[in-house]
């Protein structure tokens, strides 16, 4: 067995062990990086450690720390609760409002997981109170989190665009618009399939006042400043986010220890550990081998569809941001070259990113699991589990269909 295949098998084995043993795949990947890199490739320890994505880790840590503070002091929670007041008794609007609000919460930095974690308990409680089908509210929240969660400011968007930039690609626009477009299509389909248009208007008093305290107002101002600095003045994302977090701590808006402990460390370690092993595979030529194989089964017309479906299926048993994106995005330039340059690299990256997030409706994935956990009706949880499972895997096929009709090429 040649070393290229060995490194790819090490990556697959790391994913399998992490899934089977419920151990962070990042830790397993670091172990395999040492075994393969040191003992099989003869790399020095320093060379192996250079595979740690320092720049990406710094950016993710800064952004997640900033929004961890906003989460700890209740700012994000209040933003979510205010959303429920916008419907003013019109139940038909609530699923749409939660789609929009989840997207807005996810867009500036929290990403799909944090946005879904914040919004799903409120959304599912409202679903019970307002007689809204739980599957409707669950799918609208998840679709909403995808609509904003792949922005250039959100963790997953940062991961995708940073990995693409390493291949000489500028994908921020195409990834954002592709994910937004697909999420809106999915949200519209779910709204009508699961009966959102049939909901009746209620006349209860929804004029409850929800006010931000001083600390939360300061948090909103600083976060807004960070977003403006990054988007309009092109300040460094990591440095700006860390500076915003430091200002908030100096202003005393939240407990420092609690904010640090709320950072999603497992996700950061997962992304970074897998990146190390992917780097080992790249050095050994494994990524080139994978690229050649994928290119051999693709044509100009089917490339986006195949990448979307493969990414979605792989994401079903691993992490989209931590495993799927670092594995497949580096293969894009080689695939484009092998197919003859007729395929847009940005469309392939968009297909990978969108496809890997379609399966997140499944209760076996993080977002689906969060909405299932927030369900209020214990008797119907098994039914909701089955519904979300079906939606997740059908959505992967739908992502592939969108690739066939050229949706991911629209913004190149």
For 261-318, what is each residue's pLDDT tens digit?
Answer: 988 788 788 878 888 998 898 889 887 788 778 778 888 888 899 999 999 888 876 6
Those residues whose C-beta lies under 8 Å from the C-beta of residue 143, and which sit 6 or more positions away, are 99, 183, 184, 186, 187, 190, 361
pLDDT over 80 at 181, yes or no: yes
Q: What is the spatial distance between Cα 373 and Cα 62, in angstroms, rounded to a whole number?
A: 28
Confidence of residue 257 (pLDDT cuts 50, 70, 90): very high
pLDDT over 60 at 386, yes or no: yes
Mean pLDDT of 94-100: 92
Those residues whose C-beta lies under 8 Å from the C-beta of residue 367, and which sit 6 or more positions away, are 112, 113, 116, 142, 145, 360, 361
Mean pLDDT, the chain, whole residue set: 86
Confidence of residue 214 (pLDDT cuts 50, 70, 90): very high
Give the closest residue to 240 by CA, choosing from 230, 251, 253.
230
Q: Token pair of 105, please? A: 């919460």
Q: What is the spatial distance between Cα 390 and Cα 193, in angstroms, rounded to a whole number?
A: 13
Which pLDDT score is estimated for 261? 94
Confidence of residue 91 (pLDDT cuts 50, 70, 90): confident
Q: What is the spatial distance between Cα 58 and Cα 78, in angstroms, rounded to a whole number?
A: 28
Which pLDDT score is estimated for 270? 81
Which pLDDT score is estimated for 334? 85
Which pLDDT score is estimated for 258? 95
Domain ranges across the chain = 1-50+270-284
Which pLDDT score is estimated for 84? 63
Mean pLDDT of 325-334: 90
Q: What is the spatial distance between Cα 211 and Cα 200, in angstroms, rounded to a whole number?
A: 29
Confidence of residue 38 (pLDDT cuts 50, 70, 90): very high
Those residues whose C-beta lies under 8 Å from the C-beta of residue 60, and which sit 6 or more positions away, are 155, 158, 159, 267, 268, 271
Which pLDDT score is estimated for 118? 76
pTM of the predicted model as reported, rounded to 2 decimal places: 0.79
Q: Are 349 and 160 in contact (CB under 8 A)?
A: yes
Choice between 35 and 78, residue whose per-residue pLDDT is larger: 35
Q: Are 212 and 253 in contact (CB under 8 A)?
A: no
Count helices and strands (H / E) in the chain: 21, 0
């Amino acid at each position: 067995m040649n070393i290229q295949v060995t490194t790819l098998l090490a990556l697959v084995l790391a994913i399998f062990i992490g899934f089977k043993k419920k151990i962070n795949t990042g830790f397993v990947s670091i172990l395999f990086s040492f075994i393969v890199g040191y003992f099989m490739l003869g790399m020095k320890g320093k060379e192996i450690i250079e595979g740690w994505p320092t720049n990406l880790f710094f950016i993710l840590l800064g952004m997640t720390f900033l929004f961890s503070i906003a989460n700890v002091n209740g700012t994000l929670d209040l933003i979510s609760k205010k959303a429920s007041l916008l419907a003013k008794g019109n139940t038909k609007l609530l699923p749409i409002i939660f789609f929009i609000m989840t997207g807005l919460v996810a867009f500036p930095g929290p990403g799909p997981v944090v946005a879904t974690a914040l919004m799903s308990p409120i959304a599912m409680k409202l679903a019970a109170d307002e007689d809204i089908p739980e599957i409707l509210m669950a799918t609208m929240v998840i679709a909403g989190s995808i609509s904003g969660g792949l922005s250039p400011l959100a963790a997953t968007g940062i991961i995708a665009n940073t990995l693409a930039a390493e291949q000489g690609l500028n994908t921020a626009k195409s990834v954002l618009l592709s994910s937004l477009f697909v999420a809106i299509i999915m949200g519209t389909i779910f709204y009508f399939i699961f009966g959102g248009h049939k909901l009746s208007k209620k006349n209860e008093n929804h004029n409850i006042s929800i006010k931000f305290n001083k600390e939360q107002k300061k948090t909103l101002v600083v976060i807004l400043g960070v977003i403006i600095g990054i988007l309009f003045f092109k300040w460094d994302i990591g440095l700006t986010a860390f500076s915003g977090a430091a200002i908030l701590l100096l202003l005393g808006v939240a407990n420092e220890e609690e904010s640090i402990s709320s950072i999603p460390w497992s996700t950061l370690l997962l992304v970074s550990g897998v990146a190390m092993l992917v780097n080992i595979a790249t050095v050994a030529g494994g990524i080139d081998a994978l690229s050649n194989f994928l290119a051999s089964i693709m044509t100009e017309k089917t490339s986006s569809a195949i990448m979307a479906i493969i990414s979605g299926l792989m994401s079903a048993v691993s992490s989209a941001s931590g495993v799927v994106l670092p594995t497949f995005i580096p293969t894009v330039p080689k695939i484009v070259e092998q197919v003859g340059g007729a395929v847009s690299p940005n469309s392939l990256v968009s297909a990978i990113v969108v496809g890997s997030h379609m399966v997140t409706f499944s209760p076996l994935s993080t977002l689906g699991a969060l909405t299932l956990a927030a369900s209020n009706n214990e008797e119907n949880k098994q039914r909701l589990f089955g519904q979300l499972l079906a939606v997740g895997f059908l959505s992967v096929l739908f992502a592939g269909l969108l690739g066939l009709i050229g949706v991911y090429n629209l913004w190149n």
